[in-house]
Structure 1
């Protein structure tokens, strides 16, 4: 690879400003290598955390080209941030990664505008900007998906494999969509739900985007579980998408706008805690202070917001015990959400809750802390690489002999359901969000 210094452009200058100091913290020791799923599956230094950091430094110094040399290695990163946990000097890899994504995407967007090309990028950016920040539009998509399942159209589509012919990754994801319940059971924004016992806390619930559009049964069950441990639950009316997908795809300005909207909405709720049930969303919410660090008027508000943001499992442990009514049959195992574990530091609470279910036989899966290959929309954009990681994950899941695999994030849920299908285990293994498992054990339907 050519390493002579090139004349730096404005994008390399911006990358220098955003990431160079953080990248220089890396001492290239290699402790991150065993923790990295893409290094394990691809076996190349450029697909390791320290390799990517070195490429970011070289690009910022003008020694390599952003698009030709850096874009693909960054794009193939899952963003799981397991390397941060393994790093002995606390290099903020996630922030370096998102800075690189921001600058790469900014340059790609400008070049695309000039060339009027790259349909995939136009669809991606259009979806993130025109769909995800709009709850009504997302709910319409969810309603159509319910109708699609209710009428049996999904079975016809799966039989003809028409979606697979357009996109194999989308066809596989369509096949494992959970069964949607009637949209009439969705909560309304602005609703308030009273506690079912003595009030212990007032919480504001973050509904999310995919969760609200496609997995609203899990949201409904989340609210009922919170009520069962003494929470008054408020649904802030003006809440929005968390911005995680936008930040991961380099649309940082859009992520900041969404963060500010959420801070305003949740501050107005007067709640003690801000609760979410999606590891990826929760990680984004917990880092709003970093996202808005350069805006003095927002930084302290963002820091306060982040301090109140909690995963549902944290509060259920804090305010529990849960009112279990049924015994669990079969073996249960748990697949960590990378962002819940590596960013929020939450891994004991889900296991404690699952082990507390009456009759449960909990078996820890080898490598449960390693990424399943979902990575937001990574499994759609980089399908082959994602499936390689997933297939290895399923070999370890099979060894537990589990009849239930539990996750704590919508992307992980769909990915593990796909893994069960690919492994031929669909007849004996089910995949549940942790909220679904706990609600079932509590007799909440």
Structure 2
């Protein structure tokens, strides 16, 4: 890479990567056993949090000149943030990797192809829910018209990389029904539901089930108009200004003091939503106050269900003789950013017709990480292979997740390992809905 480009990137690091945060890292190494890329790269320090932080500082200080190997080290980071709860010094690694990627995108000369892809994704698809809905309608058309069967039969998918074929097999079935009328308790709690982009299109039935469960447990559920993608994908991809644009739209859409909670059913979205105030630090006091008000009302679906008494409801249900072994794969951001670990497990343990078994390594990333499995298929496949060994070790018949990316990744794993006849992957909401309402 030319010296002018390298210097431009260094200056971007100086402007955008906070030096005080870099200095918080003591190089103690507590993060190493928590980092999936460090583990699966054969303990390569450049693939560890402390190694990446050292590279950030070296680039910022001009000690090393920017090149492709440094960029690869940052690209291979999952952004799972498992290093944060492991860190005794409280290093804000998630913020640092986002600042780093923002610095790179802001300064690096992008190809025309990359510019078009980023503009199409971040200025159109993930900035306008109507366009997201239109894209998913094409997928639904592909599934419902028989085109999918024809494509598979003629072997057309063989022209694509293996991970693309796996993803095609893992596509969720199109919604088969409209919302049912359910027995409702008198409304005691008013919640605003953040429907998300993927969750309200590809996983629309999960959203319907979410509303039905909340109404069953005594909630008035409001769907604020004008909401859109949370901005996590943009923020994690170095597009912080585009992420802030989406955040501002959502803050305005949900700015109603009447809501007791703002609930979401996607762990990755929930983590980003819970840090909206960080995006607007230093902005006008009025805007920051709105962002803080938004953040203070955030809650994930498992935590809210526990508050509303779902455990008691599940414990009333009869048990069955058939043994269904259920396990849980943590959403990285739900666990590592929002600190939610017990609630999903408490719910699953209360189900009388199944046996909950803890998955070894459930706290480690499954390899999805937003669109990481599309951008870094080799590393994502290594991580998924390890995850599926853990699933087979405990002979799980149902794998529960709380995030759409994790759900798709686990579905891919089930298909890839030939387990589709004995195992399934489900969102927590769909599993509980199946037990209580269906």
Question: Could you say which TM-score interval applies, normalised by the shorter chain?
Answer: over 0.9
2:120 to 123, 126, 145: 126
Pair 269,134 (structure 1): closer, same or farther in 2 beyond 3 Å: farther
> Is contact 1:146–1:181 with CA below 8 Å preserved after alignment?
no
> Is contact 1:246–1:252 with CA below 8 Å preserved after alignment?
yes
Q: Secondary structure at the match of 1:406?
A: strand
In the TM superposition, 1:226-375 aligns within 5 A as 226-268=214-256, 270-297=258-285, 298-321=287-310, 323-324=313-314, 325=317, 327=319, 329-375=323-369
**For each residue in 1:351-380, what CA deviation from the matched residue of structure 2 results, as whole angstroms up to 9, or x when unmatched?**
001111122200001111000000100000
Provide the rounded CA distance (Å) in 2 between the counterparts of 1:67 and 1:13: 15
Give the length in aligned residue pairs.
428
How far does residue 291 in structure 1 lie from its aligned partner after superposition?
1.4
**For each residue in 1:240-294, what CA deviation from the matched residue of structure 2 results, as whole angstroms up to 9, or x when unmatched?**
1100000010010000011011010011373111000000000000010111113
Residue in 2 aligned with 1:190? Answer: none
Provide the rounded CA distance (Å) in 2 between the counterparts of 1:248 and 1:98: 6
In the TM superposition, 1:176-215 aligns within 5 A as 176-182=170-176, 185=178, 196-215=184-203
Moved more, 154-163 or 422-431: 154-163
Moved more, 267-276 or 73-82: 267-276
Say whether residues 1:417 and 2:416 are aligned partners: no
Residue in 2 aligned with 1:222? Answer: 210
Moved more, 136-145 or 341-350: 136-145
Residue in 2 aligned with 1:135? Answer: 129
Pair 6,51 (structure 1): closer, same or farther in 2 beyond 3 Å: farther
How far does residue 424 in structure 1 lie from its aligned partner after superposition?
1.5
Moved more, 313-322 or 395-404: 313-322
Residue in 1 aligned with 2:101? Answer: 101
Pair 195,101 (structure 1): closer, same or farther in 2 beyond 3 Å: farther
Provide the rounded CA distance (Å) in 1 between the counterparts of 2:31 and 2:269: 24
Provide the rounded CA distance (Å) in 1 between the counterparts of 2:60 and 2:4: 11
Pair 386,177 (structure 1): closer, same or farther in 2 beyond 3 Å: same
Provide the rounded CA distance (Å) in 1 between the counterparts of 2:364 and 2:114: 29
Residue in 1 aligned with 2:81? Answer: 81
How far does residue 59 in structure 1 lie from its aligned partner after superposition?
0.8
Provide the rounded CA distance (Å) in 1 between the counterparts of 2:185 and 2:416: 44
Provide the rounded CA distance (Å) in 2 between the counterparts of 1:95 and 1:304: 21
Pair 120,11 (structure 1): closer, same or farther in 2 beyond 3 Å: closer
Residue in 2 aligned with 1:153? Answer: 147
Q: Secondary structure at the match of 1:13?
A: helix
Q: Secondary structure at the match of 2:221?
A: strand
2:10 to 1, 5, 12: 12
Residue in 2 aligned with 1:58? Answer: 58
Provide the rounded CA distance (Å) in 1 between the counterparts of 2:225 and 2:319: 37
How far does residue 326 in structure 1 lie from its aligned partner after superposition?
6.0
Moved more, 154-163 or 403-412: 154-163
Provide the rounded CA distance (Å) in 2 between the counterparts of 1:194 and 1:361: 27
TM-score scaled by length of structure 1? 0.91
Provide the rounded CA distance (Å) in 1 between the counterparts of 2:58 and 2:47: 15
Pair 194,172 (structure 1): closer, same or farther in 2 beyond 3 Å: closer
Residue in 2 aligned with 1:400? Answer: 394
**For each residue in 1:320-359, what CA deviation from the matched residue of structure 2 results, as whole angstroms up to 9, or x when unmatched?**
1364456475110000000000001001000001111122
How far does residue 64 in structure 1 lie from its aligned partner after superposition?
2.4
Pair 7,141 (structure 1): closer, same or farther in 2 beyond 3 Å: closer
How far does residue 162 in structure 1 lie from its aligned partner after superposition?
2.7
Provide the rounded CA distance (Å) in 1 between the counterparts of 2:268 and 2:124: 20
Gap regions ≥5 residues in structure 1: 188-192
**For each residue in 1:181-224, what CA deviation from the matched residue of structure 2 results, as whole angstroms up to 9, or x when unmatched?**
15x7389xxxxx99911222100001111111100000000011
Pair 227,391 (structure 1): closer, same or farther in 2 beyond 3 Å: same
Q: Secondary structure at the match of 2:252?
A: helix
Q: Secondary structure at the match of 1:213?
A: coil
How far does residue 133 in structure 1 lie from its aligned partner after superposition?
1.2
How far does residue 128 in structure 1 lie from its aligned partner after superposition?
2.2
Note the aligned Cα RMSD (angstroms): 2.2
Moved more, 10-19 or 139-148: 10-19
How far does residue 129 in structure 1 lie from its aligned partner after superposition?
1.9
Gap regions ≥5 residues in structure 2: none
Q: Which runs of 4+ in 1 moved over 6 A?
A: 5-8
How far does residue 438 in structure 1 lie from its aligned partner after superposition?
0.5
**For each residue in 1:384-404, what CA deviation from the matched residue of structure 2 results, as whole angstroms up to 9, or x when unmatched?**
110000000111111111110
Provide the rounded CA distance (Å) in 1 between the counterparts of 2:366 and 2:62: 35
> Is contact 1:283–1:343 with CA below 8 Å preserved after alignment?
yes
